Amino acid sequence: MRETDFVSGFARGLRVIEAFGEAQPRLSIADAAKITGLDRATVRRSLLTLSELGYADYDGKFFTLTPRILRLGHAYLSATPLPTIVQPYLDQLSEKAGQSASASVLDGTEIVYVARASQRRVMSINLTPGSRLPAYCASMGRVLLAALPEPEARAILARSELRANTPKTKTDPEELMTELSRVRAQGYAIIDQELELGLCSIAVPLMNARNQVIAALNIGAPAAHVAAAELAERYLLLLKETQAALRPLVQ
* Ranges within 60-79 binding DNA (CB under 7 A): 60-61
- Given the complex with DNA, which of 46 and 193 has the nearer CB atom? 46
If you ran DSSP here, which 8-state letter would residue 81 be given? H
Q: Does 23 sit near DNA (CB under 7 A)?
A: no
- Selected from 30, 40, 52, 182, the binder of its own copies by CB under 8 A is 52
Stretch that binds DNA, among 35-43, 122-130, 190-198, 220-228 (CB under 7 A): 35-43
- Given the complex with DNA, which of 30 and 70 has the nearer CB atom? 30
Q: For residues 165 and 194, is the Cβ–Cβ distance under 8 A?
A: yes
57: nearest Cα among 72, 47, 46, 45: 47
- Selected from 3, 59, 61, 79, the binder of its own copies by CB under 8 A is 79
- Residue 175: burial class (beta carbons within 10 Å; 0-12, 13-18, 19+): exposed
Q: For residues 213 and 207, is the Cβ–Cβ distance under 8 A?
A: yes
Instruction: Find which of its own copies, DNA, none residue 120 binds, CB within 5 to 8 Å per kind.
Output: its own copies
- Given the complex with its own copies, which of 64 and 171 has the nearer CB atom? 64
- Given the complex with DNA, which of 38 and 153 has the nearer CB atom? 38
Smallest gap, in angstroms, from Cβ of residue 158 to its own copies? 18
Q: What is the rounded distance in angstroms from the CA atom of residue 51 to the CA atom of residue 55?
A: 6
The 189-192 sheet, strands edge to edge: 132-134, 110-117, 100-107, 213-222, 199-207, 189-192
Smallest gap, in angstroms, from Cβ of residue 238 to its own copies? 16
